[in-house]
Amino acid sequence: MKLSIIIPCFNEEATISKIIQRVADVDLIGIEKEIIVVDDGSDDRTFGTLKQLKNKFDFQLFNHGINLGKGAAIKTALKNISGDYVIIQDADLEYNPEDYKKLLRCVQEKSAQVVYGSRYSGSEGKYSHPFFYFGGRILTWLTNLLYGTRISDEATCYKLFKREVISKIDLKCKGFDFCPEITAKVLKKGIKIYEVPIGYSPRNIEDGKKIKLKDGLYAIWILIKYKFID
């Protein structure tokens, strides 16, 4: 099995070296790793740091000349993956790449096509700021209401897909709407989303967290939109 790890990043000079190191260090016994990093038009030293890191680590590097959004960066990476499965990895340090093993174990034991890492399902991690915590809870509640599922964390970064599943989904997203769009379209295809508990070390806006209220409101609209529109 081969796992493609997509790392979209924008202005993450403080953490990009550490996350590349952590991803590279994960030993997925019997599973090959492919790392694809997309710098989404950073205006700090992120891209320069990434070019230097390529001398030490094996990864594909792509660069957007301007900031297009997380969804756009993911779509760029998806055009270049070759793995059997693909997972999204944020460039900050909120999520621990060692948890890949938990998601992959679910694939191996249950033949899952889609697995989400839940921050709230028996997680030993910490909760984020109430604004982000309750925002995520609202999106999850709405997802379950609209699509008849029972997931616990729609907005998690750790989303693992079988390549054949995600490659057949026509993504329109540009920004943080990737999460609600991919969730809605997976569920509309009748594909079950499995969940496994993961750890979580939240950061706040002062530390560089970029999601804003407008992103949450737009995510609500996306979930409603794709319930009724293909």
Q: What is the pLDDT of residues 54-112, one digit of tens each?
A: 999 999 999 999 999 999 999 999 999 999 999 999 999 999 999 999 999 999 999 99
Q: Left, alpha or beta for 49 (phi > 0: left; psi -120 to 50: alpha)?
A: alpha
pLDDT band at 209 (very low <50, low <70, confident <90, very high): low
Q: Within 13 Å, how many C-alpha atoms sit on residue 216's CB side?
A: 15
d(CA 97, CA 22): 7
Arch. (CATH architecture) of 2-228: Alpha-Beta Complex (3.90)
Q: What is the pLDDT of residue 131?
A: 60
pLDDT digits (tens, 9 = 90+) for 111-170: 999 999 999 876 555 566 666 677 889 999 999 999 999 999 999 999 999 999 999 999
| pLDDT the model gives residue 169 | 96
Sequence ranges of the domains in the chain? 2-228
The residues pairing with 35 across neighbouring beta strands, listed in sequence order, are 5
- The predicted pLDDT at position 229 comes to 87
Separation of alpha carbons 222 and 97, rounded Å: 28
What pLDDT digit, counting tens, does each position of 41-60 carry? 999 999 999 999 999 999 99
- Locate 94 and state its tokens: 């909120």
What confidence score (pLDDT) does residue 213 get?
A: 76
**Distance, CA of 181 to CA of 193 (rounded, Å):** 14
Confidence of residue 205 (pLDDT cuts 50, 70, 90): low
**Apex CA 67: angle with CA 55 and CA 133, to 5°?**
95
DSSP string computed for 64-113: ESS---HHHHHHHHHTT---SEEEE--SSSSS-GGGHHHHHHHHHHH--S
The per-residue pLDDT for 210 is 60
At 206, is the pLDDT very low, low, confident or very high (cuts 50, 70, 90)?
low
